[in-house]
Structure 1
Amino acid sequence: MNRIKLVLVLIFWIVSVPLYAQNLVIYPVPTGVLYSQHNDDYTVRVRKPGGPWQDLFEYNVQVDLDKVRDASMVFFDFSGTVEVAVRKNNGLVQNARIRPLSYQIQPKQEGNTLYFTLTQPRKLSIEFNGDKLQNLHLFANALETGKPDPKDPNVIYFGPGIHSPDDKPGDVFKIPSNKTVYIDGGAVIRGKLVCDNVNNVRIVGRGIIDQPQRGIEITHSENVLVDGIIVKNPQHYTVYGGQSKGVTIRNLKSFSCKGWSDGIDLMSCSDVLVDDVFMRNSDDCIALYGHRWDYYGGSRNVVVKNSTLWADVAHPTNIGLHGDTRSIGDTLENITFSNLDILEHDEDDPDYQGCLAISCGDLNLIRNVTYENIRIEDFEEGKLLSLRVLYNKKYNTGPGRTIENITFRNITYSGFGANPSIIEGLSEQGMVRGVTLQNVRINGKLLRVSQSDNIRIGAFTQSIQFKPD
């Protein structure tokens, strides 16, 4: 009898492990969302290999401040392998691509439908006939782990459905210290989440914060985690950070199309990790500053990695415009951008161009910054690199101080929309020095100092080095 039980247990284990390894989670759509926020440009289905196809809900998202367009977004969780089918419902398909191109996903096309397979979590843009504005965004998440108990008194639980603050719909949910905010994948929150003067807060889940004034505010706080959620078309920033420490932002997805609708803006924040995010914004995707408004102090120990950035307007990354001119200025230091795909940069004002930009104003000292393993695809208009000490009279109350010890390593750009990059100081007191460009390539060609059509080294610069692999 014991042998029979053992055999049955082994059979159950052999059968159940592959089933678990092929898990696929699709979340319910809140009743009030179904008609008002659906986009029928695409029909998207997913399945476990050999299983039945399951339909996803195609959310409408708005992109690009210059000319606001309706794009589409779907999301689901899976492990193992998942098969995806995307049908374009309007017009004939002449060509299609899936980006980031570095993933090298080659779909099979049958008429107006693309088929492809995923074996790991991905955040993708699926584009038909070269259309980047009315495209489909597909977010394939890993399975959730450690889902909190809704009955736990330290859990603020947003279950399936639409949620607004009780006092003023569309306004604010204030989050106390030592709380976990869980947003279910079938939940939509219509209001911003505010973490002010708090500690030890987790904001996790797979749900959506929909059209808030801001998505999440983290001010004067410590040890705050944001993981897994989607912020859809806020009026202002997606994540607004001020004078906070120990902030971690993972697997965040963001869309914006308004003026000043930056992605992640952090002022006077330190010990920050931004990992595996997808930011499509109509202002800076990620900006790091010193003092601004009610937030004081420098910024240090910031890592941004494994992410995809799409700036329909302004910079994918920007450091240093704002600071404190009341005394000697702020220091922004020990900052790393690593393993990024940049899908767009469209900025017609030369003062705000630069995929990888350091705009040093307000007596800031910016040092020890590394950009490495970054792939930049063709963009509409802008610069690849911009390192400037400046005095921007629109935003600054004083000139920048110094930029020093900056490394660009393994940077590639494939495209033809780039204006010449620039490295330029402002004065003898506002120098750019100690910049290394190692294996920086434009359309496969190594960038060198002699390439005036690709880069300009301006005045008040020292020790600018160009190196091969």
Structure 2
Amino acid sequence: MRYISILLSILFCLPTQAQLVTYPESLNPGMPHNDDYTVRVRIPGGEWKDLFEYKVQVDMDNVQDASMVQFDMGSPVEIMVKKNNGTVHDVAIRPSNKGIEYKQIQNTILFTLRQPQYLSIEFNGDRLHNLHLFANPLETEKYDKEEKGIMYFGPGIHRPKDLPNNQIRISGNTTVYLAPGAVVKAKLLVDKAENVRIIGRGILDHPIRGIEITDSKNVLIDGITVVNPDHYTVFGGGSTGITIKNLKSFSCKGWSDGIDMMCCHDVLIDNVFMRNSDDCIALYAHRWNWWGGTSNITVQNSILWADVAHPINIGGHGDPDSATGEIVEKITFRNIDILEHDEDDPIYQGCMTVDCGDKNLVRNILFEDIRVENIQEGRLFYVKVRFNSKYDKQPGHGIENVTFRNITYYGIGENPSVIQGLDKERMIKNVTFENIVINGKKMKDLKEFTTNEFIKNIKIK
């Protein structure tokens, strides 16, 4: 007992890491501020700390100015959010399943977070001028200078000059650290490189693309935020061993997908928040300079918000000139909150889209524990073998072995879900719907779906 007491005394005397880390406004020169909200955070009972309310733009259909704040936490914190204009009639904190309770005092709400998480806070039903609150986990790795193997971006604006395509090329065996308050106005390019890590709490601001990973291996992205790129937040082509964690993203332009993977393998996407004006996550086979199909990809514990197009899109783009086509397989989406899906064009609608063209075979796909909160225009499920003349030179080969398990949706006005093969040689086989709950009722059959005769062994559990 005496030994344990001495050990505890030593431990309690050791310096401890701060359990709340904020990024002062002074670290963000030149970044646009949005005055819609005043946001503060504190350790319970401690001193309130002001957060910098960034302006971020959302929704390509009619670009709007929303807000974003972020900080790091390692223990419970209290949050105060004041709406600076207008009267507050109601408040929504989403994802709804987080069950966060708040106290309202006039135009201000107060609530407690017990663990890091990403939230949308919406006043009076306004989802275009909302507050995005990113409570990050504490950093476990920090740097304060450039050194061998470390590319360092400290607090302040970094605008590289005289670089081709305004991009920064990252060589192999390099850690890129974006410190809190760092704002890099360039694309990060990882090409033909191995063992690259892009980490920190900094921001890539209005790059051509956020991060491009091509013909590379063992790449980690962890903790950064990408604000309004012209195109993709993360683009992967012909790469293996990609891990993307704690990434936050906004986009509001055409072709501004979130995370797109072309012919990539062994990918983990974990705890990301993607609000995009094109597909949030798209997994394809051949496109441009990459061949070989796509396999073994897991997306989990994440929040997807498609202001335009699909939250999830699997199977498009392939090699129409191949004798056999390519395969997209072993894909898992697990524990996902889909906050919005809005797509005007009926042939491109689907919260959870599995389709194939250009001779692709798509198989062994799992959707599990998915919560869909709102569909403005779109469909819940879209499973289709297609020939789309805009994108395809050949029809898809087929879709096999797809499971949708524990899916919930509350809403009205969406178009019917789709499950359709193309013909007798290009069918959909072995699709299981298990514990699908729509507006509180369990799905029992396909009568609400648009189907055809080219589907086989469809099970409803």
TM-score class, shorter-chain normalisation, is over 0.9
Asked whether 1:269 is paired with 2:257, we answer no
2:329 corresponds to: 333
2:44 corresponds to: 49
2:283 corresponds to: 288
Asked whether 1:214 is paired with 2:209, we answer yes
SS in structure 2 at match of 1:43: strand
Give the Cα–Cα distance (whole angstroms) in 2 for the partners of residues 353 and 387 of structure 1. Answer: 11
Asked whether 1:456 is paired with 2:450, we answer yes
Distance 1:32 1:249, change over 3 A: closer
Task: For residue 279 of structure 1, report the CA deviation from its aligned partner.
Answer: 0.2
1:311 corresponds to: 306
Task: For residue 459 of structure 1, report the CA deviation from its aligned partner.
Answer: 2.6
1:465 corresponds to: 459
1:433 corresponds to: 429
Give the Cα–Cα distance (whole angstroms) in 2 for the partners of residues 387 and 207 of structure 1. Answer: 38
1:411 corresponds to: 407
Task: For residue 73 of structure 1, report the CA deviation from its aligned partner.
Answer: 0.1
Q: Give 5+ residue unaligned stretches, structure 2.
A: none
How does 1:8-27 map onto structure 2 within 5 Å?
A: 13-14=11-12, 20=17, 23-27=19-23
Asked whether 1:125 is paired with 2:127, we answer no
Scaled by the length of structure 2, what TM-score is found?
Answer: 0.96
Asked whether 1:112 is paired with 2:107, we answer yes
1:74 corresponds to: 69
SS in structure 1 at match of 2:425: coil
Contact 1:287 1:319 in 2 (8 A): yes
Asked whether 1:397 is paired with 2:420, we answer no
Task: For residue 307 of structure 1, report the CA deviation from its aligned partner.
Answer: 0.2
Give the Cα–Cα distance (whole angstroms) in 2 for the partners of residues 292 and 30 of structure 1. Answer: 43
Asked whether 1:185 is paired with 2:194, we answer no
Task: For residue 456 of structure 1, report the CA deviation from its aligned partner.
Answer: 2.6
Contact 1:422 1:458 in 2 (8 A): no
1:152 corresponds to: 147
Asked whether 1:388 is paired with 2:387, we answer no
Superimposed CA distance per residue, residues 100-150 of structure 1 (whole angstroms, 9 cap, x where no aligned partner): 001000111111001000111110000000000000000001100022463
2:58 corresponds to: 63
Task: For residue 86 of structure 1, report the CA deviation from its aligned partner.
Answer: 0.3
Give the Cα–Cα distance (whole angstroms) in 1 for the partners of residues 12 and 212 of structure 2. Answer: 47
Task: For residue 8 of structure 1, report the CA deviation from its aligned partner.
Answer: 9.5
Give the Cα–Cα distance (whole angstroms) in 2 for the partners of residues 268 and 225 of structure 1. Answer: 18
Superimposed CA distance per residue, residues 394-447 of structure 1 (whole angstroms, 9 cap, x where no aligned partner): 011110001000000000011113211110000111100100000011011111
Contact 1:30 1:187 in 2 (8 A): no
SS in structure 1 at match of 2:392: coil
SS in structure 1 at match of 2:32: coil
Give the Cα–Cα distance (whole angstroms) in 1 for the partners of residues 290 and 391 of structure 2. Answer: 16
SS in structure 2 at match of 1:351: helix
The percentage of aligned residue pairs carrying the same residue is 58
Give the Cα–Cα distance (whole angstroms) in 2 for the partners of residues 32 and 7 of structure 1. Answer: 46
Distance 1:29 1:187, change over 3 A: farther
SS in structure 2 at match of 1:138: strand
Letter in 2 for 1:99: R
Give the Cα–Cα distance (whole angstroms) in 2 for the partners of residues 42 and 52 of structure 1. Answer: 19
Task: For residue 329 of structure 1, report the CA deviation from its aligned partner.
Answer: 0.8
Letter in 2 for 1:234: P
Contact 1:185 1:205 in 2 (8 A): yes
Superimposed CA distance per residue, residues 38-72 of structure 1 (whole angstroms, 9 cap, x where no aligned partner): 00000000000110101000000000011100000
Give the Cα–Cα distance (whole angstroms) in 2 for the partners of residues 310 and 374 of structure 1. Answer: 13
Among candidates 243, 246, 250, match of residue 251 of structure 1 = 246
How does 1:355-366 map onto structure 2 within 5 Å?
A: 355-366=351-362
Give the count of matched residue pairs.
Answer: 459
Letter in 1 for 2:87: L
Give the Cα–Cα distance (whole angstroms) in 2 for the partners of residues 32 and 80 of structure 1. Answer: 25
Superimposed CA distance per residue, residues 144-168 of structure 1 (whole angstroms, 9 cap, x where no aligned partner): 0022463430000001111122314
Among candidates 195, 203, 210, match of residue 200 of structure 1 = 195
Contact 1:154 1:179 in 2 (8 A): yes
Distance 1:129 1:397, change over 3 A: same
SS in structure 2 at match of 1:66: helix
Q: Aligned-residue CA RMSD in angstroms?
A: 1.9
Contact 1:30 1:162 in 2 (8 A): no
Contact 1:215 1:231 in 2 (8 A): yes
Give the Cα–Cα distance (whole angstroms) in 1 for the partners of residues 219 and 26 of structure 2. Answer: 28
Distance 1:30 1:52, change over 3 A: closer
Asked whether 1:351 is paired with 2:329, we answer no
Give the Cα–Cα distance (whole angstroms) in 1 for the partners of residues 293 and 26 of structure 2. Answer: 42
Superimposed CA distance per residue, residues 144-203 of structure 1 (whole angstroms, 9 cap, x where no aligned partner): 002246343000000111112231498111000000000001100000000011110000
Distance 1:90 1:8, change over 3 A: farther
Moved more, 414-423 or 120-129: 414-423
Distance 1:416 1:158, change over 3 A: same
